[in-house]
Amino acid sequence: MMSFAGLRRVDGFASQVMEALDEAGLKPEVIISEYGEDQFEVTNAPSTGLAAADRAVALREIIREIARNRGWKASFAPKTSPSSVGNGVHIHFSLVGADGQPASYNASGPSGLSEAAGAFCAGILKHLPAITALTASSVSSYFRLKPHNWSSSYTWLGDKDREATLRICPTVTISGNDPAKSFNVEYRAADATANPYLALAAIVRAGLEGLKARLPCPPVHSGDPDELTEVDRAELGLRRLPKTLEDALEALQGDPVVVSWFPKVFLDTFTGMKAFEIKSLEGLDEEATCASYRAVY
């Protein structure tokens, strides 16, 4: 659990994963033992365009194969059991200007956000309830997206807060490093049941809506939203995320801007398949539902 001992207990696995990912061209940065039992986190270096989604697909398949060769089974399910620590897919993003230089950071902006980055975040938060269905796409996703669960639960921009849906990440400035080069924001309401190409498309399109409308930067909130009054949450723009996949699909279909990004045949297919998924799990308790996703993902 979050220690070198966790890595030593599976001696050789971490180094084999890193070597295989590097050989495949994924540019892995780190693998660490995480808080949950037998839980690990792997990060890849930044990339542009579709490469990030390509890497997400390749990473899962490579790790599954390495685990299988050891007689283990790797699962990327959002919850392997109702009581387990959840598994997210945290998507980090930053902006680059037409000159190729970092464009997300402004030392005088709110928590270091540039005007463009603030507008981009505002667009994501505005459409967040709708795009959640595309970034957290399973019934068990919503067992994880709860307050006080090391996860996301509100349309919330936070500074280094691990429960905020959009988390402004810390930067390293030792040895005179330019914070603009590492400044980024983390989207946390995503998991591996989502199609990574759809997840990236939804986040980018929502952010672009904010840029086009020149939306003001949302309030950067620190503290527990559950401890605020409804009036205070409304003033800060903190809306509860969908609590179930059904709610998320309803929010998706109820946002005409998000609907306009996709062909009707795609939306009909996506929502139809998800409705079938929900129906197929009817009657199962949370333990059995988690077991189903654990086996598939």
Q: Render 251-290 in DSSP notation, one character per residue.
A: HHHT-HHHHTTS-HHHHHHHHHHHHHHHHHTTT--HHHHH
Q: What's the mean pLDDT when you consider all of the chain?
A: 95
Q: How many CB atoms lie within 10 A of CB 273?
A: 11
- Cβ distance 89 to 191 under 8 Å? yes
pLDDT (0 to 100) of residue 98? 93
pLDDT at 38 over 70: yes
Percent of the chain with pLDDT strictly greater than 90? 89
Residue 284 is predicted with a pLDDT of 97
Model pLDDT for residues 226-250, shown as the tens digit of each residue: 999 999 999 999 999 999 999 999 9
Residue with token string 């220690």: 3
Average pLDDT for residues 36-57, to the nearest whole number?
Answer: 92
Asked whether residue 61 carries a pLDDT value surpassing 90, the answer given is yes
pLDDT band at 163 (very low <50, low <70, confident <90, very high): very high
Instruction: Give the pLDDT score at 8.
Output: 79
pLDDT over threshold 90, residue 37: no
pLDDT one-digit tens code per residue, 67-109: 999 999 999 999 999 999 999 999 999 999 999 999 999 999 9
Q: What is the mean pLDDT of residues 112-140?
A: 98
Q: For 138, how many CA atoms within 13 A lie in the half-sphere containing its CB?
A: 27
Residue 1 pLDDT: 58
Q: 218 and 121 in contact (C-beta within 8 Å)?
A: yes
pTM of the entire predicted model: 0.95
Average pLDDT over residues 173-199: 94
The percent of residues above 70 in pLDDT, for the chain, comes to 99
Q: Which of 93, 250, 142, 237 is nearest to 258 (CA)?
A: 250
Give residue limits of the domains in the chain: 82-264
Q: Average pLDDT for residues 57-68, to the nearest whole number?
A: 97
What mean pLDDT do residues 146-154 have? 91
Superfamily of domain 82-264: Glutamine synthetase/guanido kinase, catalytic domain (3.30.590.10)
Residue 81 has a pLDDT of 95
Check if the beta carbon of residue 62 is closer than 8 Å to that of residue 69.
Answer: no
State the pLDDT at residue 11: 80
